[in-house]
Every structure is written in C-alpha cells, then in structure tokens.
Amino acid sequence: MGSFFDARKYPGSFQVVLQTKNASAREAIALVFQEMEKMGAEPVSEEELSRAKKYLTGSFPLRLDTQGKLAGFLTLVEYFGLGLDYPERYPSLINAVTREEVIRVAKTYLHPEKAILIVVANLKEAGFETGKREE
C-alpha cells in the first residue's frame, strides 16, 4: 500500500494504491477513507510523525544517488521555484512539520467525498457487483 500526491504547480491528484484479496477489498477501501477523514480531524501521533520524518529525511539522499536522478530533481526544484539550496534545506523543512500542520494540509487537500474509485478485481467476489452501474 502506498499513497502520494501528484505534485504540480496547479492542483493534481492524491492517490492511494493498495492490493488485497477480493474478499477484503471493501473493508480495505473503507479503512483508506476512514484514515483520510481521520487525518483532517485529529492529530497524528508524535511517534507516527517522527517515523515519517525519519523516513523522508533518511531516504532523501537515495533520490539523488545518480546523475540522472539529480538532474531530474534539480529540474523539479527549478520548475517549482524552490531555490538551489533546497536540497540542503529539505531536512529542516521536513523536521519543522507539526501535527497541527498535518491536520491543516489534510483538510485543505484530502477530499474523500470527491474520490474517484478504481477497483481492479472480480467485482462480484469483492462485493461491488450490484447488477446496475453505480454513479
């Protein structure tokens, strides 16, 4: 399972990708929606925020470990106007994120009620086939 924003200068998408058995598809999808709603309603735990920060700052050098990755990254830095010192500032920017900011950003950018759901499954086994098209 993973999630990511399709970062652009103008609004992009937020995507969640997961794999599960047909029998647990509805439950897994419900849990994703619950988590999205929870992020906009209550603070993440200090432990969860700390783990996320460690992951993002620890894995950051791997995004720059080849000339091709570095060139692509610097292209994006320029495109978004982040400044050539952005790679040096990145860890402090990530470490400055607060639990309250997570809620603010979730409320601003996560809109589960506007989701477009794509399910690749045996729809009958996954509990989605109703005999009529859902809109």
Local confidence pLDDT in tens for the 135 residues of the chain: 778 777 777 777 888 889 999 999 999 999 999 999 999 999 999 999 999 999 999 999 999 999 999 999 999 999 999 999 999 999 999 999 999 999 999 999 888 888 888 888 888 888 887 655 555
CA 20 to CA 15: how far, in whole Å? 16
At 54, the amino acid letter reads K
Residue 60: predicted pLDDT: 95
CB 126 within 8 A of CB 25: yes
Rounded CA Rg of the chain:
18
Residue 102: predicted pLDDT: 95
Residue 25 CB coordination number (10 Å): 21
Residue 115: predicted pLDDT: 87
Domain ranges of the chain: 1-40+110-135, 44-98
Residue 56: predicted pLDDT: 95
Tokens describing residue 75: 């292209």
Residue 81: predicted pLDDT: 93
Q: What is the pTM of this model?
A: 0.75
